[in-house]
């Protein structure tokens, strides 16, 4: 059985509130196994057999839309992908030490084309450092995200729909659910 994590966009924002128990039940109704939720921010861990990732993503999106009454974009990663994200260190230690911000992981639907990648990385600055690896954009803001001047709309226009988690969250999910 393959293990996955589904990063759900827009959960528990504004009027959208769902408790982890309800989210777990919604996902279990989709025949997903050993469903667990990490924090109340739309991180679901589960097992599934015999389905490719694209089909599984579509099934989860359709099932959640039916259960919740609104669309929920899903960014699915398998065990190997999640371990690679946790192991990846996109910024030098000296850069990390000089920053008051936390590394953010912008999860993308697809690996960006060269031109889109170049457009997004052109927004990098000494205050907002950016790096891309596969389907993830790593972002180190100098301070808090709300203090950043990074234009996330331009990032979205270049790289497509996305959701964001801290690298710490990625690391914790990897350690708790995907340790070798």
Best CA proximity match to 87, nearest among 22, 136, 158, 25: 136
In this structure, are residues 140 and 128 in contact, taking their beta carbons and an 8 Å threshold? yes
Secondary structure element (H or E) that encloses residue 172, with its range: helix 167-177
pLDDT digits (tens, 9 = 90+) for 31-89: 999 999 999 889 999 999 988 999 999 999 999 999 999 999 999 999 999 999 999 99
132-171: per-residue pLDDT in tens? 999 999 999 999 888 899 999 999 999 999 999 999 999 9
**Cα–Cα dist 44/35, whole Å:** 7
Which secondary structure element, helix H or strand E, spans residue 141, and what is its range? strand 136-141
Please tell me the predicted confidence (pLDDT) of residue 104.
97
Query: In the chain, what are the domain boundaries?
Result: 2-83, 84-177
**167-34-41 Cα angle (round to 5):** 35
Residues 164, 104: Cα–Cα separation, whole Å? 7
CATH topology of domain 84-177: Alpha-Beta Plaits (3.30.70)
CATH of 2-83, one of 3.40.50.150, 3.40.50.300, 3.90.1720.10, 3.30.70.1280: 3.30.70.1280
Q: How far is CA 33 from the centre of its chain?
A: 21
Query: Does this chain's domain 2-83 share its CATH topology with 84-177?
Result: yes
* pTM > 0.85: yes
């Amino acid at each position: 059985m393959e293990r996955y994590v589904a990063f759900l966009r827009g959960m528990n924002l504004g009027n959208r509130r769902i408790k982890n128990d309800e989210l777990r039940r919604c996902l279990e109704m989709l025949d997903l196994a050993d469903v667990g939720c990490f924090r109340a921010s739309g991180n679901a861990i589960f097992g599934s057999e015999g389905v490719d990732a694209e089909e599984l993503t579509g099934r989860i999106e359709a099932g959640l839309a039916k259960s919740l009454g609104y669309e929920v974009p899903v960014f699915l990663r398998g065990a190997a992908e999640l371990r690679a994200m946790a192991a990846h260190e996109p910024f030098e230690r000296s850069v990390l030490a000089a920053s008051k911000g936390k590394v953010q992981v912008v999860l993308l639907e697809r690996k960006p084309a060269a031109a889109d990648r170049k457009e997004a990385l052109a927004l990098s600055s000494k205050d907002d450092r950016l790096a891309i690896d596969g389907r993830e954009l790593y972002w180190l803001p100098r301070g808090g995200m709300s203090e950043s001047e990074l234009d996330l709309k331009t990032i979205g226009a270049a790289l497509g729909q996305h959701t964001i988690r801290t690298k710490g969250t990625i690391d914790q999910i990897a350690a708790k659910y995907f340790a070798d």
